[in-house]
Structure 1
């Protein structure tokens, strides 16, 4: 059996707000609370469990996505001028994308300072 990442705990100041923000990026629902967590199922193998019991230290979470998912994400980002996103660390939150490895990529900053990276080709 290959190793599969099943879930990650994402620290948040407000787990409901953080889960809703992330779920909104992907166009998926927030699941019913499970213990202290507000879970968001990313796919059949991975759930992000948002948790407000600890201090929210900014982290980086990267996701390989297909072109359709990337296009839908960019459409959602374009509708909300309050969301900070950009091409990457060197470019800042310039509301652009990068073309690393021949694909497309974008970084999105969430309300807790986390950086979500979405890319279509592994660089």
Structure 2
């Protein structure tokens, strides 16, 4: 059997806001609430379950995306005023070009860094 990460819990301050932000960033739909979670199905194998019962904690979630998703996500970040950068722990509004692709880190208000990149390092 192949091992696949199926879901993970993301601790946030407001589960509905955080789920909608990621859904909008990636161009996917936020799913209806499931118990205490606000799920976002990222692809056929992975769901992120946003949970606000214990408060927010910073995190880092990295997504390999195609150019169209990358461009749409960066436009969304710019349009909504989200901070973004070429590297973690800085805000420079630059794109990195590691491994021949493009990459950015988009920061949500809970301190979560969503890394989007177009080439595998």
What TM bracket, shorter-length normalisation? over 0.9
1:35 aligns to 2:64 (yes or no)? no
Residue-pair matches, total: 121
- Does the CA-based 8 Å contact 2:6-2:45 persist in structure 1? yes
Q: CA deviation at 1:17?
A: 0.8
When normalised by structure 1's length, the TM-score is: 0.92
Q: Report the counterpart of residue 18 of structure 1 in structure 2.
A: 18
Q: How far apart are residue 111 of structure 1 and its match?
A: 1.2
Give unmatched runs, 5+ long, in structure 1.
none
Q: CA deviation at 1:75?
A: 2.1
Equivalence map 1:48-87=2 (5 Å): 48-80=48-80, 82-87=81-86
Unmatched tracts of structure 2, length 5 or more = none
TM-score (norm 2): 0.94
> What is the CA RMSD across the aligned residues, in angstroms?
1.2
**Counterpart position of 2:9:** 9
> How many Å separate the matches in 1 of 2:93 and 2:112?
17
Q: 1:27 Cα deviation (Å)?
A: 1.6
2:119 pairs with 106, 118, 121, which one? 121
Q: Kindly provide the CA deviation profile for residues 38-80 of structure 1, in whole angstroms up to 9, marking residues without a partner as x.
A: 0011011111000011131101111111122112212222322
SS, match of residue 22 in structure 2: helix
